[in-house]
């Protein structure tokens, strides 16, 4: 069992390092298609993944052993389709490819959806935080620009046209900053609601035993 685990870890590392191709020449030539299927199954890939392996290995005149691959894939699904993994899979935002079946499938899908819901809520909150931060940074930049224009207006601008141009720029900055500040008030309110929703959802998931 330990040998299989070490093989899976090694294989997983090689797949990640192989770039666009799912398998390298060495992996194709020395392929243990059961282990490859086991690895793919534990990651939730569908059986169509074998097509990518076939394409990768065709360059080296290697044809996958589909029977061994399917056998490993089925065994890998036993690990992937665990309820706890369903929650963690949804929590990462990963796509579920409908590979689970049998008695555990419903529990997996339910757990996956719970994790997915929390993922989406966290993403929405993070996006709103970024929006608020961007608005604040823009307001600060507008104020800095206006301060610079005011300094130029006092110490450097002499021609009427130049002074009017600076005054217009300051006015535009003030209006834009005011609009952003007003928008931030609504964003902060929305953020407070989302933060409470997130806290409630996390508490509910703890009750369900997911966290």
Q: What pLDDT shows up at residue 19?
A: 43
Listed as ranges, residues in the chain with pLDDT below 70 are: 1-20, 157
- pTM of the entire structure? 0.78
Q: What pLDDT shows up at residue 112?
A: 97
* H or E element in which residue 118 lies: helix 103-155
Q: What pLDDT shows up at residue 22?
A: 87
DSSP secondary structure letters along 136-186 = HHHHHHHHHHHHHHHHHHHHT--SHHHHHHHHHHHHHHHHHHHHHHHHHHH
DSSP code for 102: S
The number of angstroms, rounded, from the C-alpha of 178 to the middle of its chain's C-alpha atoms is 34
For residues 46 and 35, what is the distance between their CA atoms, to the nearest angstrom? Answer: 15
Smallest CA-to-CA distance from 69 within 86, 46, 100, 96 is with 46
Q: Assign 77 to helix, strand or coil.
A: helix
Question: Side-chain half-sphere of 136: how many Cα atoms within 13 Å?
Answer: 9
* H or E element in which residue 67 lies: helix 66-80
Candidates 1.10.3470, 1.10.287, 1.10.12, 3.40.50; correct CATH number of 110-208? 1.10.287
Q: What pLDDT shows up at residue 103?
A: 82
Contact assessment for residue 118 and residue 202, using Cβ atoms and an 8 Å cutoff: yes
Ramachandran region, residue 205 (left: φ > 0; alpha: ψ -120 to 50; beta: rest) = alpha
For residues 154 and 192, what is the distance between their CA atoms, to the nearest angstrom? Answer: 43
For residues 165 and 56, what is the distance between their CA atoms, to the nearest angstrom? Answer: 63
Q: What pLDDT shows up at residue 20?
A: 60
Q: Which residues contact 85 (CB under 8 A, 6 or more apart)?
A: 79, 108
What are the residue boundaries of the structural domains of the chain, listed by start?
A: 2-80, 110-208
Angle at alpha carbon of residue 168, lines to 162 and 171, rounded to 5°: 145
Q: Assign 81 to helix, strand or coil.
A: coil
């Amino acid at each position: 069992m330990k040998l299989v685990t070490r093989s899976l870890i090694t294989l997983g590392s090689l797949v990640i390092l192989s770039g666009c191709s799912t398998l390298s020449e060495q992996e194709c030539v020395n392929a243990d298609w059961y282990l490859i299927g086991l690895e793919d199954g534990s990651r939730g890939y569908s059986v169509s993944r074998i097509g990518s392996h076939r394409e990768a290995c065709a360059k080296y005149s290697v044809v996958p052993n589909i029977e061994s691959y399917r056998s490993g894939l089925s065994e890998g699904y036993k690990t992937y389709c665990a309820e706890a993994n369903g929650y963690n899979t949804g929590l990462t935002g990963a796509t579920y490819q409908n590979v689970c079946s049998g008695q555990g499938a419903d529990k997996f899908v339910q757990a996956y959806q719970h994790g997915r819901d929390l993922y989406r809520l966290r993403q929405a909150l993070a996006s709103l935080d970024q929006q608020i931060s961007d608005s604040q940074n823009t307001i600060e930049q507008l104020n800095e620009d206006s301060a610079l224009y005011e300094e130029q207006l006092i110490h450097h601008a002499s021609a009427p046209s130049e002074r009017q141009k600076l005054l217009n720029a300051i006015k535009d900055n003030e209006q834009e900053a005011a609009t952003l500040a007003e928008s931030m008030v609504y964003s902060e309110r929305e953020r407070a609601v989302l933060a409470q929703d997130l806290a409630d959802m996390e508490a509910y998931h703890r009750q369900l035993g997911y966290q």
